[in-house]
Structure 1
Amino acid sequence: MNTQLRTTLLAATAAIALLPVAATAQTTPSDAAPAAPQDTSGDTATAPQPDIIVTATSVGRKALDTPLAVTTMNASQLQRTSMTNQADILNTIPTIKADGGGGEVAANVFVRGLPSGGQYQFTPLEYDGVPVLSSFGLNSTAYDVYYRNDLGLERLEFVRGGVSNLFGPGSVAGLINYISKTGGDQLEGTAQFEWAERGRYKGDLAVSGPLGHNLFFAVSGWYRTDDGPVKTGLPTKGWQVRGNLKYEFPDNSGSVTLYGQYIDDKAQYYLPVPLDGKTRNRIPGNDGQDVYQVLTPAVLGLGFNTPNGRFTTGIADGAAAKGGQVALAFDKKLGDSGFAINGRVKYSQYASKFGLWSDGDGLINVPETLQSFLTNRGLGSLANAQFTYAGGGALAPSPLLFANRITDRNRPNHDTTAELNLTYSADTGSIRHAFTLGGFYGHAWARDYNVTTTYLAEFNNQPRLVNLVVTNPVTHAQTIVSLNGLLNAGAGYVNNTHQVERYAAYFADQMKIGSRFNFDIGGRYEWFNGDIRREQTSVVVTDSTTPNLAPALRDVIWGNGKNFTAHPKTGAWALAAGGLYKLTDRVSLYLNASRGYFFPEIRAVTFNALGQPASYTPEIIKQVEGGIKIDQPWFNLTAAAFYTKLDNRRQINFINDGLGGFTEQVNLVATRSWGVEATLDLKLHKYLHFNGNLTLQNAKYTQFMQNGTSNLNVIGKDLERQPDILYNAGLYYDDGTVDLSFFTNYTGDNFTASTNAIRLDGWNVFNVDAGIKVKPFGDRRSVRLGINVFNLFDTDAVTEGSPRQDVNQTVGGAYFVGRPVLPRRISARATLKF
């Protein structure tokens, strides 16, 4: 990140952070605009529930009046479910499966049976309607590496279907949008301290209030250090600060809000590990302790010579992000004309790294005895081999070895987005129209620089590195196979630069016809311009002086300065319509249908041997959904059926190349999925309610082109990592003093690869959250002491196999490489509201 931007971001966020001091010296004028609605009801079943106003369309409407599938979560719900990472929250939303076994960041998000490698490929992540990044697929880093939740959030909206697909960045599969709290006419805030076993300490603060003259502020942030949830010896540590300044026009015609965010954080990321081949439970390492992860500080300083000088791994930084964004949002009614404008503009820049610990060396990928390691690589017998620890000393008796890879990914990026909408409200007879004419612009640039290194270590938690020297029994010549634990210097090299420019124009009409019927219709056209630069590689001798080195230590794969370039361009259109009929004031029927598109990830563009790029065409998605919404005083119910068809999907699999490196395999696929979803919130008692949701879905491949050939063995098979059933269920008690929540998330059986050869059993993760609240400082101030238990029964299920092995994962062998659910973790929180 350049110095000027860093200074600007820090100045903006620091200025917002200092506003509470200024606020204490201000008084709110009597004609100040009313405070924005805040979540003050907690989860008490009898508390009045305000109408949920959906903001994902040009005109905000009640969820009951919107012909869309809508899921919302208030601030209390977000706090209760956010125990480990973003996946904990998203897993509670119907039709979403989110894998959080990797730790605090980079959740793999799957939605409605759509084929995805994970991350957020179909569901943009937004804060206050502003996308974290405007285009996904410049590299594979997930959005949640750059932006995190905190106490300054008011609610979450997940809206899919209908004309919500058309506005801003657009997404037929839905938008994940977090809405921030803005200041009101009273100074208020929340401070929280969190402790969790295995070395987690976190402090959160959120403060908001008035500055006078219709100006309000809100600021929030956190600092966290964490040795877990799986101890690796490599800490997770960092901080973030966010804030906003909101000015409301004195005539109540609109507002202008300035947003700022800055993050400096490093979080460790866990990949699959070898498990027992039959039970798929964790297995003990050489020290007799079950192996939870193979991340280790022993690799610190590991490096090798390159044509550009010495390379030393920075893998200990984990998934790191440093940088931020500045955004401006506004809305303004233009007198009594019926016209209004609204828009948003944002600039962000992040210095980002992602330390990826693989699940094997790309050759064997499972633990090996000393002799099997030698045999599998044609290195002779144990009698002619000398294994020692890199730090000195002989290996323990009968140890297991595990050769593994680390990939240092350097991924800086910057992004500019702008959105402008002109709206007009008018009546034609009994029809009330809300017209929108708008446009969106996005320009995203990112680098994807990867260096892969292979090392040899014992099979343990936080393993020690291992050296190996082999002696030829005939010539007595020695070969250094592993030096200071380094097994393969420069096993892989990638240096790509991708940028995308998007222009979109859209229109919509949201109509209220009489008192019972709402109808929406709209369309969008978007232009896409891309730019690709990918450096080619050569094998280079970088150490010709150290005697007896094996070729893998002497030679490295490195960039040669020659580039493949391409400039893909395309365009696509979308149409959407939806209707809702109110049977009564509390019961609505709705139906929506859309024809939309996704632009393929630009990193999915392949080149042939002559450096010619493959064609680039949009992925077309068609979907329809219909259902019922019921809002009664003692229960809320929704039920819907959906159908989705996706064509021309460029599916990317990051898999082993068979030589110890990686390749991004691109398959051209088509899929169809159908299913039903239902939600229920039921009042059982004055202070007790039940909340749950259920998704039943069926997703199949209808086309699967691999290397230009149709794979008939896959067509008709289930999509990998997509379960047929998902549900959430919980009991929630809150009498204002004592609260207790017991809830579970169930993920059904699913397959690890497209051939459906390996099935993973479904699993439940139970969680408990409980607290006691006292008010020692008056009604406006309270202290809550709470305890939270994630994975109460310590479920040891496997969330995924090894994506890098894809269809080559061993079935029924001694080992199975998979990523288990994170282990049970107990945390305590002390929360002060003032």
Structure 2
Amino acid sequence: MKLVLTAAMAGISLAALIPTNVYAQASTQAGDPAETEGAPDAEIIVTGTSRSRVALDTPLAVSQLGEDALARTGVTSQADILNTIPSIKADGGGGEVAANIFIRGLPSGGQYQFTPLMYDGVTVLSSFGLNSSAYDVYARNDLGISRLEFVRGGVSNLFGPGSVAGLINYISKSGGDQLEGTVQLEVAQRDRYRGDVALSGPLGNNFYFGMSGFYRIDKGPIRTNLDTKGGQFRGNLEYRFADGSGNVKLLGQYINDRVQFYLPIPLDGPTRSRLAGNDGNLVNSVQNDFAANLGFNTPGGGAFASDIGEGVSTRGGMLGLTFEKDFGDSGWGLNGRVKYSDYKHKFGLWSDGDGVINVPETLQSFLTNRSLGTLANAQFTFAGGGAVPANFLLFANRITDRDRPVHDFTAEVNLTKKLQTGSVDHAFTLGGFYGNASAGDRNVTTTFLAEFNNQPRLVNLTITNPVTSAQTVVSRNGLLNAGAGYVNNRHEAERYAGYIADQMKIGDRVNFDIGFRVEHMRGAISRERTATAVTDAATPNLSTALRDVIWGNGGFLTGDVSVTEWALAAGALYKLTDDMSVYANASRGFFFPELRSAAFRPLPAGTAADASLSPGTQSYTAEIIKQAEVGFKMSKPGLTMTVSGFYTKLDNRRQVLFVNDGQGGLIERVNLVGAESYGAEGTIDVRLVQNLRFNGNITLQKSKFTAFDTTPANIGKRVERQPELLYNAGLYYDDGAFDLSLFTNYTGPNFTASNNLIELDGWNIANLDAGYKVPVATGSLRVSVNVFNLFNTDAVTEGSPRQDSNQVANGAFFVGRPVLPRRITGRLTYNF
């Protein structure tokens, strides 16, 4: 009932903005939101599709964002862009990268697990789940992108890397017959400075180029003493055949960037609002530059130094080639793409507690919770000197240094044939895809003790035995547990796929698509075994946690897995009139489980702790997804809209969660689950009056678990982090000189974990973008301001993923991640 009432209120709000004379308005003009934000009359180009069609003629759901929409929504992160698309929930509270992307009704931890991220039809990484880094750590958006396409369901998603749940494809600008460019300077609150450039044009002799890049420095939307700094360069060089039959394009990218990632923080338990720290200021983050203090000895006489200050760092790039060629009037064509990428990537992860207590503690409660006696026998001091006041709160926390180099090779080739048989116009595609990706994943977890404050200071602790006067150093330079956890994995995935499809136009009114894909995946797994070793026997009085570390012992477990699966998709569309269509599609598809979820069989009794062996792997079978959708599309002058209903069922899902092991370490827990969902979606874009438009979309869904091997009691409960209501609504004014956009994104209430014990309230994030354009020389200069989170909404986007189902619902503290605070950005943009 609450969902129905909330949806009704949203619908009333949207309807109130639409005047009664909407149907009499003028037709869409270039650059209007209808053209760039998902209008059904916009042309789509999807990887592998041999027939480009307007969305009104396509029997599947299509969303598009043009460069203007990307500019006004993508100020903070990729999540803010994707949040405007129906069926996607994107959590961007962590900052610029590692957005948690959820697709309607599907259980996951986020991180693009069901949606490959592509640029120009080339997937950023051909296989997900080699580690837990999201696709967006390897690439950034810039001014060289012309539009975003998100296509879900249907035959198009069988091509290339494949994903019947959806493909996210950014399409770059290509050169034209005139030199064009954009130069932009950006300044934002809290010391953010960014410069962008994008150029494209002719080189002569049928060669064209496009290039773009940026560099920025940023103290962060939240001050942590950890900076964001770096940039990226992308480019393409295209040769177009003189007869117009196709092109060959060389693609390249180089990135050298580091950004900070914000984790959940302790909040007030009853209100889930920010808490005051020891200095009386509200705590926005418990991160600081601790790297110099948290090193320790390792087995064999080495030393470990944390790189946590680097945040999420990526250095490397990709080189790719795409081609298209039509062979005259024969109807035959050939297209394809090939790419090689190599990235040195590290992900400095701040946890949301020590994995044992997980919340702030008084000095005495810290001692009591660890059986360390009373304050009379304890000496708390700051690492920089000075005693810790007795009334201060402490927060024990962890960092995990994750070193994750990755390389990837992908190739795709498609043979196409256009053929007329009677009244049926066929467009056949026969193609194949190959991907080979490998990634390292070396994780070192360290626990530290600090005060509860913004940019906190580290805390030392020494305990004196009241009977023997013997001392024990519990925390030294803030280090509480050296080498609390260690992982050293390497995963390689090799994929082979073949597919065939036919996109048919039957007479003037009917389109019918059908396609089939078969794919084989082979995975190779290598995981180092661990042991606890004494690494500092020389320093007197150290606690066991400081003296010993968990580290790799040189023994490796290795194994191979393989699986073959098939997908089938079909869709039909009937044009009721020239501007109205009805459609339906259905598919049976698959996902290959993340390789990091594959488990080894039990080792034989008596196996040496450091032995290297291949014990074989436990079952590894594909996850099966079945989908169906029916819908209606309309595209009239001044009005475009879609309405659809959907059903999704996913079986044999290996849900991988990065959770506490209860002893201060971290494990990747695997649940074997099933889920189903159903719901409805709608989009509308309408001209209200001249130069003013309204654009909105809404997603309603019901989802539940149908299987849950580790906790059968969760069967029937709602899928965690999946709201029943999502909507976007915005007003967009542009008279050619002055433009103003005011838009909001609503995320409905959702549960933090699969046990459904903790529900987060829904929230709205409103944004404003306004600019004034004046002619300058041969171009135009736009002076603009963008305000993210206009009303400074203080909402919680997630609970503690590390605690998952063990998080307490009604305690004095609640660990959660708030949305990022309001930030005002000014821009100077020169287009020529």
Do both share a fold (TM > 0.5)? yes
Deviation of residue 321 (structure 1)? 0.3
- Secondary structure (helix, strand or coil) at the match of 1:645 reads strand
- Secondary structure (helix, strand or coil) at the match of 2:329 reads coil
Identify the residue that residue 24 of structure 1 maps to in structure 2.
Answer: none
Q: Is the Cα–Cα contact under 8 Å of residues 651 and 667 in structure 1 kept in the other structure? A: yes
Structure 1 344/45 Cα, relative in aligned 2: closer, same or farther at 3 Å? closer
Q: Is the Cα–Cα contact under 8 Å of residues 36 and 66 in structure 2 kept in the other structure? A: no
Identify the residue that residue 676 of structure 1 maps to in structure 2.
Answer: 680
Identify the residue that residue 153 of structure 1 maps to in structure 2.
Answer: 145
Cα shift readout 1:765-808 (whole Å, capped 9, x = no counterpart): 01100011101324xx1000000110111111100000110111
2: CA distance, partners of 1:338 / 1:393 = 81
Q: Is the Cα–Cα contact under 8 Å of residues 273 and 359 in structure 1 kept in the other structure? A: yes
Q: Is the Cα–Cα contact under 8 Å of residues 45 and 686 in structure 1 kept in the other structure? A: no
- Secondary structure (helix, strand or coil) at the match of 1:795 reads coil
TM-score normalised to structure 2 length: 0.94
Deviation of residue 58 (structure 1)? 2.6
- Counterpart residue type for residue 724 of structure 1: E
Q: Is the Cα–Cα contact under 8 Å of residues 103 and 268 in structure 1 kept in the other structure? A: yes
**Counterparts of residues 175-574 of structure 1 (less than 5 Å):** 175-308=167-300, 309-574=302-567
The one of 105, 110, 116 aligned to 1:113: 105
Deviation of residue 387 (structure 1)? 0.5
Identify the residue that residue 655 of structure 1 maps to in structure 2.
Answer: 659
Deviation of residue 164 (structure 1)? 1.4
Identify the residue that residue 786 of structure 2 maps to in structure 1.
Answer: 788
Q: Which moved more, 1:606-615 or 1:180-189?
A: 606-615
Cα shift readout 1:101-131 (whole Å, capped 9, x = no counterpart): 0011000000011001010000000000000
Identify the residue that residue 71 of structure 2 maps to in structure 1.
Answer: 79
Q: Is the Cα–Cα contact under 8 Å of residues 44 and 736 in structure 1 kept in the other structure? A: no
2: CA distance, partners of 1:612 / 1:663 = 21
2: CA distance, partners of 1:198 / 1:820 = 18
Note the residue ranges of structure 1 that are not aligned, 5 or more in a row.
1-38
Deviation of residue 46 (structure 1)? 11
Cα shift readout 1:124-179 (whole Å, capped 9, x = no counterpart): 00000000000000000011111010000010000011101210000010000000
1: CA distance, partners of 2:714 / 2:99 = 26
Q: Is the Cα–Cα contact under 8 Å of residues 421 and 437 in structure 1 kept in the other structure? A: yes
The one of 645, 666, 676 aligned to 1:641: 645
2: CA distance, partners of 1:694 / 1:338 = 41
Deviation of residue 299 (structure 1)? 3.5
Q: Is the Cα–Cα contact under 8 Å of residues 572 and 585 in structure 2 kept in the other structure? A: yes
The one of 686, 693, 709 aligned to 2:690: 686
Q: Is the Cα–Cα contact under 8 Å of residues 46 and 687 in structure 1 kept in the other structure? A: no
Identify the residue that residue 43 of structure 1 maps to in structure 2.
Answer: 32
- Secondary structure (helix, strand or coil) at the match of 2:712 reads coil
1:723 aligned to 2:723? yes
Q: Is the Cα–Cα contact under 8 Å of residues 46 and 686 in structure 1 kept in the other structure? A: no
Deviation of residue 52 (structure 1)? 2.0
Q: Is the Cα–Cα contact under 8 Å of residues 128 and 179 in structure 1 kept in the other structure? A: yes
Q: Is the Cα–Cα contact under 8 Å of residues 294 and 446 in structure 2 kept in the other structure? A: no
Q: Is the Cα–Cα contact under 8 Å of residues 86 and 107 in structure 1 kept in the other structure? A: yes
Q: Is the Cα–Cα contact under 8 Å of residues 483 and 549 in structure 2 kept in the other structure? A: yes
1:173 aligned to 2:165? yes
1: CA distance, partners of 2:563 / 2:517 = 14
Identify the residue that residue 610 of structure 2 maps to in structure 1.
Answer: none
Deviation of residue 733 (structure 1)? 0.4
The one of 600, 603, 610 aligned to 2:596: 603
Q: Is the Cα–Cα contact under 8 Å of residues 290 and 309 in structure 2 kept in the other structure? A: no
Structure 1 299/287 Cα, relative in aligned 2: closer, same or farther at 3 Å? farther
Deviation of residue 208 (structure 1)? 0.5
Identify the residue that residue 736 of structure 2 maps to in structure 1.
Answer: 736
The one of 50, 54, 59 aligned to 2:44: 54
Deviation of residue 613 (structure 1)? 1.9
Aligned pair count? 790
Q: Is the Cα–Cα contact under 8 Å of residues 402 and 442 in structure 2 kept in the other structure? A: yes
Identify the residue that residue 83 of structure 2 maps to in structure 1.
Answer: 91
Identify the residue that residue 68 of structure 1 maps to in structure 2.
Answer: 60
1: CA distance, partners of 2:382 / 2:442 = 31
Cα shift readout 1:371-409 (whole Å, capped 9, x = no counterpart): 000000000000000000011111134110000000000
Q: Which moved more, 1:136-145 or 1:296-305?
A: 296-305
Deviation of residue 42 (structure 1)? 3.3
The one of 687, 696, 702 aligned to 1:698: 702
1: CA distance, partners of 2:801 / 2:321 = 40
2: CA distance, partners of 1:391 / 1:208 = 53
- Secondary structure (helix, strand or coil) at the match of 1:297 reads coil
Structure 1 46/608 Cα, relative in aligned 2: closer, same or farther at 3 Å? closer
Deviation of residue 41 (structure 1)? 3.5
Cα shift readout 1:278-327 (whole Å, capped 9, x = no counterpart): 00000011111111111101343420000141000000000000000001
- Secondary structure (helix, strand or coil) at the match of 2:213 reads strand
- Secondary structure (helix, strand or coil) at the match of 1:713 reads helix
Structure 1 274/87 Cα, relative in aligned 2: closer, same or farther at 3 Å? same
2: CA distance, partners of 1:221 / 1:742 = 28
2: CA distance, partners of 1:396 / 1:550 = 23
Identify the residue that residue 813 of structure 2 maps to in structure 1.
Answer: 815
Deviation of residue 510 (structure 1)? 0.4
Q: Percent identity?
A: 66
Structure 1 47/158 Cα, relative in aligned 2: closer, same or farther at 3 Å? closer
Q: Which 4+ stretches in 1 moved above 6 angstroms?
A: 44-50
2: CA distance, partners of 1:50 / 1:206 = 28
1: CA distance, partners of 2:459 / 2:625 = 51
1:615 aligned to 2:619? yes
Deviation of residue 811 (structure 1)? 1.4
Deviation of residue 53 (structure 1)? 1.9
Q: Which moved more, 1:147-156 or 1:43-52?
A: 43-52
Identify the residue that residue 4 of structure 1 maps to in structure 2.
Answer: none
Cα shift readout 1:556-591 (whole Å, capped 9, x = no counterpart): 000011111110011000011000000111101110
2: CA distance, partners of 1:249 / 1:299 = 55
Give the superposed CA RMSD. Answer: 1.4
1: CA distance, partners of 2:517 / 2:753 = 35
TM-score normalised to structure 1 length: 0.94
Q: Is the Cα–Cα contact under 8 Å of residues 35 and 42 in structure 2 kept in the other structure? A: no
Deviation of residue 40 (structure 1)? 9.8
- Secondary structure (helix, strand or coil) at the match of 2:782 reads strand
Q: Is the Cα–Cα contact under 8 Å of residues 187 and 208 in structure 1 kept in the other structure? A: yes
2: CA distance, partners of 1:47 / 1:571 = 39
- Secondary structure (helix, strand or coil) at the match of 2:709 reads strand
Identify the residue that residue 769 of structure 2 maps to in structure 1.
Answer: 769
- Secondary structure (helix, strand or coil) at the match of 1:484 reads coil
Cα shift readout 1:24-63 (whole Å, capped 9, x = no counterpart): xxxxxxxxxxxxxxx9943378999995221122321111
Identify the residue that residue 611 of structure 2 maps to in structure 1.
Answer: none
- Counterpart residue type for residue 332 of structure 1: K
Structure 1 679/126 Cα, relative in aligned 2: closer, same or farther at 3 Å? same
- Secondary structure (helix, strand or coil) at the match of 1:774 reads strand
- Counterpart residue type for residue 745 of structure 1: N
- Secondary structure (helix, strand or coil) at the match of 2:72 reads helix
Q: Is the Cα–Cα contact under 8 Å of residues 732 and 740 in structure 1 kept in the other structure? A: yes
Q: Is the Cα–Cα contact under 8 Å of residues 481 and 545 in structure 2 kept in the other structure? A: yes
1: CA distance, partners of 2:411 / 2:259 = 30
- Counterpart residue type for residue 774 of structure 1: V
Structure 1 627/46 Cα, relative in aligned 2: closer, same or farther at 3 Å? closer
